[in-house]
Structures are given as C-alpha cells and as structure tokens.
Structure 1
Amino acid sequence: MPQPELQPRTAWPPLVTSPRGHLVIGGADALDLVERFGTPLYVLDEVAIRQRCRAYRDAMGDAGVIAYAAKALCTTAILRIMDQEGLWMDAVSGGELHTALAAGFPAGRVLLHGNNKSDEELRLAIETGVGRVVIDNFYELERLAAMARAAGRKVPVLLRVAPGVEAHTHEFIRTGQQESKFGFDLATGQALAALERVLDEPALDWYGFHCHIGSQILAVEPWEQAARIMMDLAAEAHRRTGRVMRELDLGGGLGIRYLPQDEPPSIAETVGRIRAAVAAAAEERGLPVPRLILEPGRSIVGEAGVTLYTVGAVKRVPGLAPYVAVDGGMADNPRYALYRALYTAVLANRPLDEPAERVCLVGRYCESGDILIPQIDLPRVEPGDVVAVFSTGAYNYSMSSQYNRFPRPAMVLVRDGEAEVIVERETYDDLLRHDRIPPSLAREG
C-alpha cells in the first residue's frame, strides 16, 4: 500500500525549545514538568492567559465589560487570575458560582446563565447578589420573581434571546438559531412578551438582552448580524414599552487555532468590529449605544493550554497507519469523541524532528472511539516518547471524567519557568470518595 505524503512541520504552533532540544512551555522544559508532575498533565501558560485578558480589556475600553466564560476552564486559580485582570465572569451553574466565591471573585461581577436553573442556584444568586441573572425562559422568570419578592431583593436581569443567527460551526456548539434549547424565541414574539412580564415585576430590574450564537467561530460577520438583529429588538422594545436597553450581551464564541490552517480574527479586530456594529445600529435606530458585554472563554485559555502524555504501546500493522497509545485519552479530552474536534501535536522530547510517519494517536480507554488525533505526521514514535497536544486549555479539563475508573490528571500553571499545581492529580482513593456500601450489602460471617 502506498504511504501517504507526509506534511512538513508548520509554523504553528510556534515551538520554543530548551538547550536540550525539548519543548518549552511558559519558560519550563516540558520533560522537566513530566519528571516532576507525571503524565497525563494539563499545562497552562499564565502569561499567555493574562495577555489575552488584557487584549480583550484594551479592545473593549470604556464601551463595556468582558465576562470570562468559566465553562471553558473553571478552577479557583483561574478565576483568581480573571479577578486580578478585572474581568467579569459568566457562570452557568451553582458549582461555577460556588467556585468563584471560593476564589474570592466578587459576586457582583458574575452573570448567571443556564437554561434550567434550579431553585438552589437562583436562591444562591439572590443571596450573594450576582451582577446579572440571565433569564432563559418563562418558567424561570416566574420562579425568580417569586423568590426575589420573598427575599425582599430587586434582582438585575438580562433576557436571553434566540436571534436566529446560525454561526458556521459544529451543530453541537451552535446556539443562536431558532431551533435551540436556549432563550426566548425572537421570531414568534416571545422575547418582547418576556420583557413586558419583567417590566411588570417590581422585584426584577431589566438591564437588556443577551444572545450567544455559538462557539469556535472564525469570522466576525455573525456577531455583526446578531448586533443588528438585537438592536432591532431594542428599538421595538422601546417603541412598545418606552424603556431603553442599557446593556447588550452578545455572548462569546471567538475561535482559536487548533490546526495550522485555522485563522481566527484577532481579539482586537473582533471586539472593534462588534463595537462598531453596535454603535452604528444604535445610531441608525435613534437609540443610545448600550453598554456592551462579551463573554469569551475558549479564546482566553484555549491556546494557553498544552497536555503532555507519555507514549506506551505502538501497534504497527503492515500497510496501516500505526496506532500510538498514550496514557490518557477521551476521559481527559473527550472533544474528538463528542464532535470530531481536531488538534495538532509534537513529540515534546524532540519537537523539531521532521515527520517520518503518519499515525493515529489514541488513548488507553476501553472504547474504539478513544481517539485524540485520527491522523498526524510525527517523527517515528517509540514507547517513552512524550506527546504534547496543543490548544487544550479550554473544554478539556472541564469535560473530563473518571471513565474506566482512571483518576483525572493534574494541572499546573507555568510562569517564567516556574510551575505550580492548581489542580492536584486524583488518586485511586479519590475514585472511592463518594462510594458507599449500604448495610444490606454487608459481608456475612
């Protein structure tokens, strides 16, 4: 069988190497990190994270706020960084809100999302005084209003709208179209009906509308379209109620580089064009320019993350691509199994070597679909090599599991060559922490 033509090493991701020729992450030799912390290992470059926070903040200026979408990566250390960088936070659960509070993140800079918030989550939002509750449906609206009245509080809210904008991304991470579980439908008048209900409720303080059109978006035009649609809604709301929208939250979703051919727009271009679109749409409709809220997550932490694995078995069958198995897989990164997300990687112990074979990078879990990268050109791989998979800072740890009873990896934050643990590696005992054997199963004799 003819061998596939191997692709030469590309300019992205940029490879920094140590004097020993190893991959360097955040100033630290990847092999030193492996020796100290083991594998699999999530590694985050702190400087890269802070640079992206500042790029967003600088691009937004005084036009609004940046709220970090914590679902991308939510740990106390990461939220501490977001607080230090002056960002708000977008939480989608009581657990994320609890993590924020444990990190010392101000509740007043938290937006609470979710399409099916529990009473416990709404109560926690009211008691802690979150900055905004983003109401997703009529059922939630009524419950929140009743709970706010009972607590004697006035809760600031946004109304989430499905604007009918389809971002060109995978269907599982597309959220702005009419057929979505999220938000009040715009086309059938639900959004305006929800606004009128909120305005009739003294315990709710309406700030504006929210929409989120999807994730891993590699063009700015969908946000510009969403901005015009949402400003049309604001104009109709003003005509019918006399109320002016104070805030417009256009969500997040800016894509990152997973593959060398990915070319997302820059943070500066994205935010600048969205700001301009909102301002122009407001002027055309004779409305004040609302305060803009954007909710990036992946584009802050995604490219700052690298996952390190150690190669174990290499299965070579004549005429077939070798299967290279590592000591992690779909439980620490389920994104390929979920929606065929693709990544690139190098051998961290010899990242500058030219490709010699096309391999399938697989994990150690008991599933045929346990694949990290289905096809990648690497130097000839041997057991003991260390694989570095790039752009794993977002949605890898967040989606990780203990499938097959494997403990979850550790996570370290690296800055100027110094590494600190921000998530401890789980142990076998951690797997049993919540197990219980009831008395009815007690051993006899």
Structure 2
Amino acid sequence: MSADPHSRPVAPAWLVAPRDANLLSPAVWPENARRAADGGIELGGVPASELRTRFGTPLYVLDEDQVRATARRTLDAFQAATAVHGVRARVYYAGKAFLSTEVVRWVTEEGLAVDVCTGGELAVALAAGAEPGRLGFHGNNKSVAELERAVEVGVGSIVIDSLIEIERLAAIVERRGATQAVLLRVNSGVHAETHDFLATAHEDQKFGFTLTDAAAAVARIRELPGLQFVGLHCHIGSQIFGTAGFEESAARIVELHAELLEGGDLPVLNLGGGFGIAYTSVDDPTPIEQLAAGIADAVARQCEVRGIPIPDLAFEPGRAIVGRAGVTLYEVGTTKPVALGGGATRLYVSVDGGMSDNPRAALYGAQYSARIASRSSDAEPTLARVVGKHCESGDIVVDAEYLPADVSPGDLLAVPATGAYCFSLASNYNYVPRPPVVALRGGEARVIVRGESVDDLLARDAGPATTPREGIA
C-alpha cells in the first residue's frame, strides 16, 4: 500500500490475495468450467486453448447448458412462488443483455418470454421464431415505424412510457383496426443496487411515469378503444441482491394498482427484476428461489391488506439468465510492473481486446475476475490490472485481480461472468473488429455470431474506391 495514507489504495478492500491464483470461484464461473489435468481451463468440456486455436482471440464463449439450466430454474422458481398464492407467473428474458437468434431459441424453448426495446431487437426475436404474443416491447422513444411493426406482428404487450406514445400507438391501432395490450411503466421512487436501496418521493429519470401522474395516463389509455390496459410495469434497478427493495416498491405499486382497479381490471403486474450475479469471489447473489418467494409473498401481503385479488405477476431477471454463462478469452500481449510508491507495485497485463468488447469497467466501474486459462502456475499471486489495447487510460478489463506473478506474453487469459452486456455494448472503437461468439454444448463448440474483420469495417466506409481483399484480424 502507498506510504501516503490519503492516496487511493493499491487494491480494493474486498480483494484478498488468494493462496492459489489458479482456483476458479464456483459462484463466478459457469458450472461446467474446471481445471483440466494439464492445468488449463476447460469450458463446457472444451479446452480454452483449443478454442483459441480454432477461433482466435478475443473470443466470447457462451455455455448453452448454463443458459438453459438457469432459464429453467428461474421459471420454475417464479411459477412455484406465485402458485402458492393461486396466480401465474411469466418470466421475460432481457434481449438487451445478450441477443442472437440462437439465444432466443434457447430461452424460448425453456419457457421464457422475451422483452425487446428496439426494432432491431424485435427483428432478431422474430427471426429466431419467437412467438410474437410472448414478446414485450419496452423503450422510452419507440418510433412510429417500430410501433407499427409491433402491432403488425402481434406483439403481446407494449410498455407505454409517455403521453405522446399513448396517442402515437392509439392512431396506429385505429388505422389498422387492431387492439393492442399495453402496460404503463411507473416509477415507484425506489432505486436498488446490490444490497442497498433508496426510497424517494420524486423521480428524475427518462423512463416511466411518476406515481402521481400515472392515474391520468391510465385514464387516457382507457378512453381509447384500440388500447387494452392490462397492468403496471415497474423496474427498480439492476445487479440487485436481496428482496428489501422489491418489497418497498411492491407496497407503493400495489397501492396504485388498487386505486386503478376502480376503473377496470388489471390482470398483470410486472415487477421488473434486475437480479444480480457474482462477478468476483466476494459477491453473494441471492438464490433465485429466495428472491421469487420473497417478492411474491410481498405482493400477496400488500394485496391482502387492501382486500384486493393478487394479479398474475411478470418478472424480468435481466443479466441473471445469461451473465454467468459467458467467459471472454484474451491473449496476453505485454506485461509491465509499475511502481506505485511506498514499495507497492502493480503489474499491468495488456490483452488483445479491451473496452471495445467489454466497456462496463470503463462505463460503470464494474469489477471482474480473471485467471490464466492455458496453464496453471506455482508462482506467487501478484496484484495485477488487466487492460486493453485501446488508446485510452480508462481501457480497463479487470481493475484489480491477483494473478500468478509469472503471467507472460502468449498466456491465454479468461474473464468470467461476461455473458451479459459485453457483446451487447461492444463497439469498433479504434477500428477494432468485434469478436465472434462461440456456444458450447455437450463438449462441442460452434460459432453463433460471426466475428468481424478489418475488411468488414472498411466495407461500410463509402470512401475507398476498392476494399482490400485481406485485412488484419
């Protein structure tokens, strides 16, 4: 640690040097990840080194069995929790977490509905063969064309986000002679993240209606014959552990729900989700069964107090379905010890990807873990920072981790818990091609999203008279 007591600590307080920097924290890695006899990491029965040889790096790896198992477990948990109270549950997969036609097929085959928030996400879900009636359409600025398409294909529900959208959608359904089920997004004033939540009486965000304004919006929806108002939608945050925030939000939303019942039925209450996953060994996400039971019980209590029937409940687990199933593989290019003062040193480990394939560390200060995947090591653990190749000092992949001191150029590095929001947020910053996505199942690997080449990037540039036949991968 630095000799200056007021300086930033070298390592975060939660990070403890492990006895063995080869160990894989079971809560962070996919269930099928393990160290093989040769010391390398196997993912879904396939050696990580083999994946590098076949597909190159950087590489997104997604364990299909893990995604499917988590989807089934989540749906079972919510269906069991709501059945206790005599109502039904629907669970939506969050398209924004990771979307491809293959993943849509996996989650829908396991019984999940899918939520989308743009015309592009809707197109992918439809191309995958998803049943339109089991799609929900979110978004604070859906265009007329997007709403037209949603009504045309028969999307199950549209989440209304503004007064303008009410009129926009009403005009579309009137012109088409259609009827469209809608929910109203409402802000409960509860904001939750990890273990803590904040309850306020006001909102200052782009999504949804305040509790005060919601009744007037619902009244307008009910005046319009082509719109079928089916319930409220509320989302309180993401990467949430525990049920306390949901319980506080449920009390506020059920109060509004009870008031609106005077004007007609509200068969559905969507309480959102945003359930957390483990990114590091100290993260302790709440088991999904505990979350499901706690939230369903909280709604039931609030309904009982007000003497109203419990509506069917809908949930959106977010990253919890796909996050743990993903691992990103990188190759180490350079290492560089940097003296920090007071005798402390940090080892900078540069890899061949970075903020173009995972911007979450740069955007949100997100924490990740890392392990050498091509071998094991007996070297002492050393404090390291894994960084990318981009021309940005904030291009950090893993802010703080203990890696074997002999980590070297050519080593294969694996970063777990990258199934959600990494591929979705990927960019071509510094003209770096986006990596492919490989799915694993039954010891087999296959590409489900093709990677890009420099030729692909140049093909979009209208300037060059000719496009090079070969690019630099």
CA distance in 2, matches of 1:72, 1:311: 27
Does the aligned pair in 2 maintain the 1:176–1:212 contact within 8 Å?
no
Distance 1:263 1:433 in 2: 45
The alpha-carbon distance between structure 1 residues 165 and 176, as it changes in their structure 2 partners (threshold 3 A), is farther
Q: Residues 277 and 323 of structure 2 are in contact (CA less than 8 Å); yes or no, is this contact kept in structure 1?
A: yes
Task: Give the match for residue 23 of structure 1.
Answer: 41
**Partner in structure 2 of residue 326 of structure 1:** 351
Distance 2:201 2:121 in 1: 23
How far, CA to CA, are the matches of 1:353 and 1:114 in structure 2?
A: 50
SS at match of 1:226: helix
Q: C-alpha displacement at 1:65, in angstroms?
A: 0.5
Aligned residues between the structures: 433
> Residue 300 of structure 1: which of 318, 321, 328 is its match?
321
**Of 335, 345, 367, which residue of structure 2 is paired with 1:314?**
335
Aligned with residue 41 of structure 1, among 32, 49, 59: 59
Give, in whole Å, the separation in 1 of the partners of 2:100 and 2:430: 24
Contact 1:6 1:355 in 2 (8 A): no
Q: CA deviation at 1:6?
A: 3.3
Partner of 1:278: 299
| Equivalence for 2:18 | 7
Contact 1:360-1:375 at 8 Å conserved across structures: yes
Cα distance change of structure 1 residues 277 and 384 upon mapping to structure 2, 3 Å threshold: same
Give 1:351 deviation, angstroms.
4.5
Secondary structure, counterpart of 2:169 in structure 1: helix
Matched, 1:227 2:250: yes
1:207 has 2:230 as partner:
yes
TM-score computed with the length of structure 1 as normaliser: 0.93
**C-alpha distance in structure 2 between counterparts of 1:106 and 1:422, whole Å:** 21
CA distance in 1, matches of 2:304, 2:349: 57
* In 2: Cα distance, 1:263 partner to 1:176 partner: 30
Question: 1:425 is matched with which residue?
Answer: 451
Aligned to 1:263: 284
Q: Distance in 2 between matches of 1:422 and 1:21?
A: 28
Measured after TM superposition, the shift of residue 91 of structure 1 is 0.5
Read off the aligned partner of 1:235 and give its amino acid letter: A
Partner of 2:424: 398
Instruction: Kindly report the root-mean-square deviation, in angstroms, between the aligned alpha carbons of the 2 structures.
Output: 2.2
CA 1:126–1:175 in structure 2 vs 1: closer, same or farther (change >3 Å)?
Answer: farther
C-alpha distance in 1, partners of 2:218/2:45? 51
For 1:118 and 1:295, the matched residues in 2 are separated by 23
Q: Is the 8 A contact 2:195 2:240 kept in 1?
A: no
Q: Does the CA-based 8 Å contact 2:346-2:385 persist in structure 1?
A: yes
| In structure 1, distance between residues paired with 2:90 and 2:100 | 21
Q: For 2:315 and 2:157, how far apart are their aligned partners in 1?
A: 14
Contact 1:220 1:273 in 2 (8 A): yes
Greater alpha carbon shift after TM alignment, 39-48 vs 429-438: 429-438
Unmatched segments (≥5 aa) in structure 1 = 440-445
State the distance in 2 between where 1:167 and 1:70 align.
21
Residue of structure 1 equivalent to 2:395: 370
Structure that is richer in strand per residue: 2
Aligned-partner Cα distance in 1 for 2:144–2:423: 27
Residue 353 of structure 1: how far off its partner (Å): 4.5
Task: Tell me the secondary structure at the aligned position of residue 21 of structure 1.
Answer: coil
Q: Which residue of 1 aligns with 2:107?
A: 82
Say if 2:121 is the partner of 1:115.
no
| Deviations, residues 229-264 of structure 1 (Å, cap 9, x unaligned) | 11100111123x2x1321000112000000111111
User: Structure 1 CA distance, aligned partners of 2:201 and 2:37?
Assistant: 48
Code of the residue aligned with 1:312 in structure 2: it is G
Output the amino acid matched with 1:46.
E
